[in-house]
Every structure is written in C-alpha cells, then in structure tokens.
Amino acid sequence: MIKIDIQKTFLSRSSKPLEFNFQCEIPLHQTNSLFGESGVGKTTFLKLLSGLLTPDRGFISVDGQTWFDSEKKTNLPIVSRSIGFLFQESSLYPNMNVRENLEFAFQKGKEDKNFLQSLMTTAEIDNLLNHKVEGLSGGQKQRVALVRSLLQKPKFLFLDEPFSFLDRRIRSQLVSLVESIQKQYQMTVILISHEIPEVIKLSKKVYIVSNGQIVSSGDPIDLFRQKHNDLLEAEVIGRSLNDEVALWYPNPFVVLKRKENDPSLKTNEFCLTEIKIKNEGE
C-alpha cells in the first residue's frame, strides 16, 4: 500500500498561494487513476509522489518503506524509487534512432536483451529499431517511449495523459498495451486521464482530484455512477441517443443510462442509474 499525507504550497506575487493537500492510500500491483479537470493538481500529485517535487510537510510510505518524512528529514532519491514515467510528449532523443534510444535507457552493466526483446515484441516495435525518431508517427513514438520507460524494470509506472494527442484507434491500442504489460509484470500503475472509458477499462480504483485535494475515491463505475454525474458532461464521447449515451471503447462498450429518461436534461447531461459493459458483438 502507498500511504500519502503531504502538503505543498506554491507562493505567487500576482495571485493567492496555490495549496495542495493530498491524503490517500493507493493499492499496489494494479492500475489506479487520477481524474479531474485541468489544473486541479493531478500532475503535481505525481511529481510529489515521485520526488520531482518535494512536499513542504507530511510523509509518503510505500509498502512499509519511507519515501518522504518531513519530521524525520527523510527524502528518498528519485533513482531509488523505481519509477518509470510516460508523459504527453515521448521525450525521445531526436538525434538517435529507436535502437539507440532504447539502449541508452539501460543501466551500464545491467543490459537485459531478453527483457528488451520481450517488451519490443509486446509493443510491436521490432521493425522500427533502425528508424529515426523524427520519422515515427505519434503512436509509434509513444510505443517506443513506453518500452524505454520499462527497461529498468520499475516497480511503478506513472502515466501523465500519455495518449491525449493520439487518435482513437492508436489510443485504444496503447491502452490495451499498458493493460497487458501491467498484468504481465504486476507493476503499480498510476494514470492521469480525462477519458472516462479509459479510466473504466484500465483502473481498479479512481481518485477524483479537485482544488489540490483528493475529494473521493473508489471503483470507477460505482464512483461515476453514484457521485460524479456532473463530470460526464465534458467527458462523454460516442453517439448520443434519446435516453442513453454509448461510450465506445473498442472493448468494452460502456452504456450510461439517462435517469428516468428525463426530457428536461440537456442532450449531453446524463444522470447515471445504470452502467452496462458489453463485449463487442452484443
């Protein structure tokens, strides 16, 4: 279990201070998501957890190991936290080809070519090794970046909206790839996403972030159904019907039912009373 109770304040001359106050417990060996509007603190949360930012106060404990404790003046270095990162931009080295980008990520003397080959096969990038980065598509770059982030066999994988600039087809392929890799290597994945279908497909637990705090958490379907219908207005995708909206994600197919078929609701406003997850063809 990851146990977090941290505070961070950013001072500003032009506006009031930005205050972040995060308390939560996050299960290990599964995918968990952070969900909320832009600017509410999701990326800041990941940076504080990873060590890219230092909290002002509090503690972070991971499976009994202290990563941060302000009272005991403990702050585990980033390199000792065993974290892989994948962000919106792939951050590949443009002056290197794919093979060189991947080999650069290996720790000297700890090259595991069998592991690399396994990841490349899973990600289907074997045929890209001699390609220059600038010639890759967005989806190919993110596949390579994902493999590179895993080469040091991290226990944790932090994904900060890594698929947001990709089209639906490529995005769905990469989501399935993350799901497969997480299950195969039993990593703890923390995903930031604005896409409800993506959260439902990947996550065992979702944390709703608002105004620098985690305001609720739980099973994605239960949480979106029971407490956060208002979040759906900006997030719903797919085809809108008179009494329901279908969130198409190649598999599963998620259907959100309109509450009592209330005609007073706007076309894109839905109150959830039922969520059905269908397999393709049903």
Kindly give the pairing relationship between strand 31-35 and strand 188-192: parallel
Q: List the beta bridge partners of residue 97.
A: 132
Instruction: Give the residue extent of every domain in the chain.
Output: 2-219, 229-278
Q: Which residue has the tokens 């096969």?
A: 121
Q: Which residue has the tokens 């941290």?
A: 6
Task: Tell me: pLDDT of 148 over 60.
Answer: yes
Task: Tell me: pLDDT of 233 over 50.
Answer: no
pLDDT at 110: 66
Residue 196 to residue 200: CA distance in whole angstroms: 6
Task: Tell me: pLDDT of 50 over 60.
Answer: yes
* 104 vs 128, more confident: 128
> Do 226 and 220 meet the contact criterion of CB atoms below 8 Å apart?
no
Looking at residue 138, what DSSP letter applies?
Answer: H
The one-letter code for the residue type at 150 is: L
Other CB atoms within a 10 A radius of the CB of residue 228 amount to 18
Task: Tell me: pLDDT of 230 over 70.
Answer: no
The one-letter code for the residue type at 273 is: T
Task: Tell me: pLDDT of 278 over 60.
Answer: no
> Do 189 and 178 meet the contact criterion of CB atoms below 8 Å apart?
yes
Please give the CATH topology (third level) of the domain spanning 2-219. Answer: Rossmann fold (3.40.50)
- Highest mean pLDDT: which of 6-10, 82-86, 173-177? 6-10
pLDDT at 7: 95
Q: Name, in order, each residue with C-beta under 8 angstroms of 237's C-beta and a sequence gap of 6 or more.
A: 195, 197, 247, 248
- Highest mean pLDDT: which of 59-73, 84-98, 136-150, 242-256? 59-73
- Highest mean pLDDT: which of 10-14, 68-72, 97-101? 68-72
**263-274 b/e (C-beta count within 10 Å ≥ 16 → b):** eeeeeebbebee
SS3 annotation, 9-21? EECCCCCCCEEEE
Q: List the beta bridge partners of residue 25.
A: 3
Residue 197 to residue 174: CA distance in whole angstroms: 14
What share of the chain in percent tops pLDDT 70?
77
Task: Tell me: pLDDT of 32 over 90.
Answer: yes
Largest CA-CA distance found in the chain, in angstroms, rounded:
66
pLDDT, mean over the chain = 78
> Do 158 and 83 meet the contact criterion of CB atoms below 8 Å apart?
yes
Rg (CA), the chain: 20
pLDDT at 125: 85
Q: Name, in order, each residue with C-beta under 8 angstroms of 47's C-beta and a sequence gap of 6 or more.
A: 53
Structure confidence by residue, pLDDT tens digits, 154-213: 899 998 887 777 777 777 777 888 888 888 888 999 999 887 878 888 889 999 998 899
**217 sits in which H/E element:** strand 213-218
What confidence category does residue 99 fall into, taking pLDDT thresholds of 50, 70 and 90? Answer: confident
The one-letter code for the residue type at 246 is: A
pTM for this prediction: 0.74
3-state helix, strand, coil in the chain (%, to 5): 30, 30, 40
Structure confidence by residue, pLDDT tens digits, 109-134: 666 778 888 888 878 888 888 998 88
What confidence category does residue 263 fall into, taking pLDDT thresholds of 50, 70 and 90? Answer: low
